[in-house]
Amino acid sequence: MSDQQNGNRRIIVPGGEDKAVAELADEIVTSVDDILNDKKRCSLFLAGGSTPEKLYRLLSEEPYLSSLPWNRLDFFWGDERYVAHDHPDSNYLMAYQALLSRVPVQADQRYPVPGAGECTPAEAAESYEETLRNYFTPEDSPAEEGNYDRPDIVLLGLGEDCHTASLFPGTPPLTERSRWVFAHYIKKLGNWRITLTPVFLNEANNIFFLVTGRKKAYAVKSVLQGDSDGEKCPARLIEPANGSVTWYLDSAASSELED
Ligand code: 6PG
């Protein structure tokens, strides 16, 4: 599968997993540099799950450790499991161990979703929404409706059922039209999730999906070349109005795509 561009969507297939991760890391560096030419700070939303761990570890090592202006980056999460931040399932813990504890980032640059034990799932979602609205409210003019700064970089993964973040097929946040953050119980997983909604994700300037492994090949094909609606294939709802979406795939995850 060769690289493709279609409107604001790019599909990049550099080869194996390590090459996909390295090329995405390189593009994150250039994207951050471009963003910080025009802004004081750059917001990055981290994906959870296991796939991005290699990317986060790579970014914490040279040459990326010296290339990124860490003191001008602010870190958020695209979704979180409703667990304590020291729980092995925590997306915050994974990113902290793989990246944030290994680079010069202070606590006030980390904006984690409140964890279990701090508040209820609904309170965590409300609190995170307030955090985001405060952060993205322009300094020079209080936010009227729709007058918010936009997320700069959002990293996302993809599940075999075409979920992304914690936007699972047939769940309420898929049709949410105003809230940026949503808490919901995922019956098949037996746990609560807090997730950004498509309403907020589609405000992003740069969305990067990182998907690797043969297990994801059918989900990738459904999202990129299928015609399912967003209820069945939530990742198809990620269509930023004024931003770009770039899919970094390894050869295995792209193996069902037609040229
Ligand atoms: C999560 C993620 C989720 C993840 C996919 C893929 O909290 O699990 O946000 O959307 O990206 O489930 O997970 P893997 O990378 O572990 O396959």
Tell me what pLDDT residue 228 has: 94
Judged by phi (left if over 0) then psi (alpha if -120 to 50, else beta), residue 226 lies in: beta
- Considering Cα of 68, then 70, then 75, then 81, what sign does the dihedral take? positive
Q: How far apart are CA 253 and CA 235, in angstroms?
A: 15
* pLDDT for residue 247 is more than 70: yes
Point out the ligand 1 atom lying closest to the alpha carbon of residue 195.
9
Q: Percent of the chain beyond pLDDT 90?
A: 92
Question: Which residue ranges have their beta carbon within 6 Å of ligand 1?
Answer: 47-51, 79, 91, 157-159, 163-166
**How far is the centre of ligand 1, averaged over its atoms, from the C-alpha of 161 (Å)?**
11
Tell me what pLDDT residue 4 has: 82
Q: What is the pTM of this model?
A: 0.97
CB 181 within 8 Å of CB 132: yes
Q: What is the mean pLDDT of residues 12-33?
A: 98
146-180: per-residue pLDDT in tens?
789 999 999 999 999 999 999 999 999 999 999 99
pLDDT-based confidence at 140, cuts 50/70/90? confident
141 or 239, which is more confident: 239
182-232: per-residue pLDDT in tens?
999 999 999 999 999 999 999 999 999 999 999 999 999 999 999 999 999
Point out the ligand 1 atom lying closest to the alpha carbon of residue 51.
15
CB 206 within 8 Å of CB 154: yes
142-155: per-residue pLDDT in tens?
767 778 999 999 99
Tell me what pLDDT residue 38 has: 95
DSSP string, 138-160: -SSS---TT-----SEEEE---T
CB 111 within 8 Å of CB 43: no
**How far is the centre of ligand 1, averaged over its atoms, from the C-alpha of 76 (Å)?**
15
The kind and range of the H/E element at 67 are helix 64-67
Q: What is the mean pLDDT of residues 37-57?
A: 98
60: tokens are 């914490």
pLDDT-based confidence at 1, cuts 50/70/90? low
Q: How far apart are CA 42 and CA 155, in angstroms?
A: 13
* pLDDT for residue 254 is more than 90: yes
Tell me what pLDDT residue 224 has: 98
Point out the ligand 1 atom lying closest to the alpha carbon of residue 211.
15
Mean pLDDT score across all residues of the chain: 96
* pLDDT for residue 5 is more than 90: no
70-113: per-residue pLDDT in tens?
999 999 999 999 999 999 999 999 999 999 999 999 999 999 99
